[in-house]
Amino acid sequence: MKKYVLSLLLYIFITFPAQATENPANVGLSFGANSALGIHGEFDVSSSTNNAPVSAQIFLKNFSQNISYVDTWNTTGIGAAGIYDFNAKYQLDKKIHPYAGVGLIYVFHKWTGFGPERTYTGKKSGLYVTAGVRYFLTPHVAADFNYNNFGTMTAGINLDL
């Protein structure tokens, strides 16, 4: 599964930024309610989807927690998702862009602490789901508020490239 996710991310990164659109790409930084930190790149793929308002997003997210000087928890997720912008369909205020997305995520876990199994490492892959709203502060800067199944409630900022 890891090979498929990494291949998909590489394909998206190489092919989609070259497409000519009004705002072909953006980068973003997000902070989750559970202290997760994320970074993403998003690329407009509407020309590949019969002009549907769809973008491809690749992301890296991390959550770490130090429970005590011995107990630590670290989770890192890498993935890709398709994002649908509802503003284009429903013609809302041009500053408000509600969206929803679905994709794949590959997660790495590492825990250290007390007990018979002092160190645990694990990997798993699964479905990534997100929904939220972007509010454009300027034509190239947007505040982003969403819910997803890695960082729970998140707030962030997106910058158009």
**pLDDT tens readout for residues 65-76:** 888 777 888 999
| Domain range annotation of the chain | 2-17+24-160
Which structure tokens are listed for 134? 């972007």
Model confidence pLDDT, tens digit, residues 124-144: 999 999 999 999 999 999 999
pLDDT score for 99: 96
For the domain covering 2-17+24-160, report its CATH number.
2.40.160.20
DSSP letter, residue 21: -
What is the pTM (predicted TM-score) of this model?
0.79
145's CB contacts (< 8 A; 6+ apart) are 132, 133, 134, 135, 153, 154, 155, 156
